[in-house]
Structure formats: structure tokens, C-alpha cells
Amino acid sequence: MKLASYIHHGRKSYGIFTESGIIDLERKIGHQYASLKDLLQWDAIDVARQYIDYPVDILVDDITFLPVIDEPGKILCVGMNYADKRKEFAETNDAPTLFIRFPDSQTGHATPVIKPERSNEFDYEGELAVIIGKPGTNIDVQHALSHVAGYSCYMDGSARDWQHAWFTAGKNWKRTGAFGPCMTTADDIPDPNALSIKTYLNGMLVQNDSTASMIHKVADLIAYISTFTSLSAGDVIITGSPGGVGKKRNPPLFMNEGDRVEVAIENIGRLINTVEESHSQRELLAS
């Protein structure tokens, strides 16, 4: 089952995403679970599943996608987690490299990502996003995947010229990351470390790997992170991107206004966004 968050006629909602359209769950169970995050916090995915064969309420063309979880309590990001990426950046640290994103740094599928006005090195990174369903602290590796509600695609846009001693400043410009289009529930993904992951820029394949190449697997990351912070339903872990990023190409390849970036993950979905300059940057260029 695929679940999406969106705006329809000015109203925030969420529903089941199908090939024919959206089954709007907010209309049906919104009095109990106002958002997808609420649904997860009340462990009510099976409640949503009861409506999977209902007729669609909304056409996909009539919605504006929100980030799958638009107000997560935590967005925990993993860097240098693929073998080729580690080679590109000469990474030798054995421990997971972690940083954070803030909710306002992300946007949804089919909406613009914003190139920071103070950056000339806006880079693409396609990643697997893990959405937590069951809360926990000190989670055991063997049971870690039981805490996952589902998986999605993430484009972890990076202002490389703002990544100095640490990553946070390069990752938190408004609407530089994209999250979606949907959450594929965990029962449809028996092994999150056996999926092809690809990123395209203007139709050109720029990242091509498998989640099997992760140095720290999904279960290991959940266990590691939960040792120092409690994970809550609706929290998001972004698991790192493969090699092939623009910063390490010769010549470098960065994103600019009008570019189209796509992240495709096997059995999960295809996240598509265009790049826009920030409004103040466009005004400056026009003056």
C-alpha cells in the first residue's frame, strides 16, 4: 500500500495512492487521525488498509504533493554510507556519519526544489528514506525493521559550498530536499537493502547503485540512532546516497534553474522535481 500527504483545494489531507487516483483518508477517518503522522502515531495503518479497494476520490492531477511526513519530529540523515561515495570523498571513519534536516528544508513530489541564492554548487543526492512507525529507544538490530512503517524516495539537495566543517549548513536551506511521492508500507518491502536506486538529472543517469551497497544497513542505522535519541512514529531517517554526485565529477555537475531531478527506487516509486532559483535571486538577476 502506498500512502501520500497532499493539499487538495486548499485543504491538507492524506490518502491511499493508486494508479487511478487518491482514496482520501482524511474524509473517512480524519476525525480520528488528522494526518499520516497521526495515523502512524496511533499504529493505525491497518485501519487505512480497510479502504484500499474503495473507489478513488481525487485525481492525482488535482493535488499538490506534500512531503510524505510534512512535520516530522526528527529528520536524521546519514552521510558517506555507500562504498563508492566513501571513495569519492576519501571517507575512512567507521562510525555512521550523521547530520540533521529541519522540516522546512523539504518539499513534496512534483513541486519545485529551490536552489539557494548564496550557493553556486547545488548538488543532487538520491536516497532511501525510512519512516518510523513504532517508537523505541535502544532498539535491537534483530527487531529494528519492525519499527519501520514504510519507505520513500528522498532527494537530499546539498549546497556543497556551505558544507564546511560539518554538513548542516549545506542541507537546511528552505525547500532544498524533496520527499515522496508516497510512503510504500513496510510489508511491501521485505528487504530494504535489496533495492536498485537511481538518480537522473535532465534525463541523464547520474547515480546508479543498490541499497545493498550501504555500509551501515537500515536495521543497523535504526539501532545505532536509537541508542542516543528516542525514535518516534513519523520520524524520518535518510540513509545516504550512492556515488556519482556532481561535486566529484570532472567537470563538476550542479543543478540550476529549470533542471529536472528524479530519484527512482525499485518497488517504492519515482520522485520528480524541477529546480527553481529563490525569489530574491531571480529578482536580482532580472534587475
279 has pLDDT over 80? no
CB neighbours of 234 closer than 8 A, spacing ≥ 6? 36, 37, 40, 41, 69, 72, 73, 131, 132
Average pLDDT for 61-78: 97
Residues 32, 84: one domain? no
The structural domain count of the chain equals 2
**49 three-state secondary structure:** helix
Q: How many CB atoms lie within 10 A of CB 204?
A: 8
Output 164 or 69, whichever has higher pLDDT.
69
Pair (223, 260) in one structural domain: yes
234 located within any domain: yes
Q: Are residues 60 and 81 in the same domain?
A: no
From 38, 65, 92, the end of a domain falls on 65
| 184 shares its domain with 212 | yes
Q: Residue 169 sits in a domain of what CATH number?
A: 3.90.850.10
On the question of pLDDT at 87 being above 90, the answer is no
49 in the same domain as 183 = no
How many Cβ atoms are within 10 Å of 158's Cβ, its own excluded?
Answer: 28
Same domain, 144 and 57: no
Does 197 map to a domain?
yes
Q: In the structure, what pLDDT confidence band is assigned to residue 232 with cuts at 50, 70 and 90?
A: very high
The pLDDT assigned to 86 comes to 78
How confident is the model at residue 165, as a pLDDT? 62
Q: Is residue 70 part of a domain?
A: no
Q: Which domain holds residue 18?
A: 2-65
Query: In terms of domains, do 280 and 173 share one?
Result: yes
pLDDT of 217 strictly over 70: yes
Handedness of CA 165, 201, 84, 179 (dihedral sign): positive
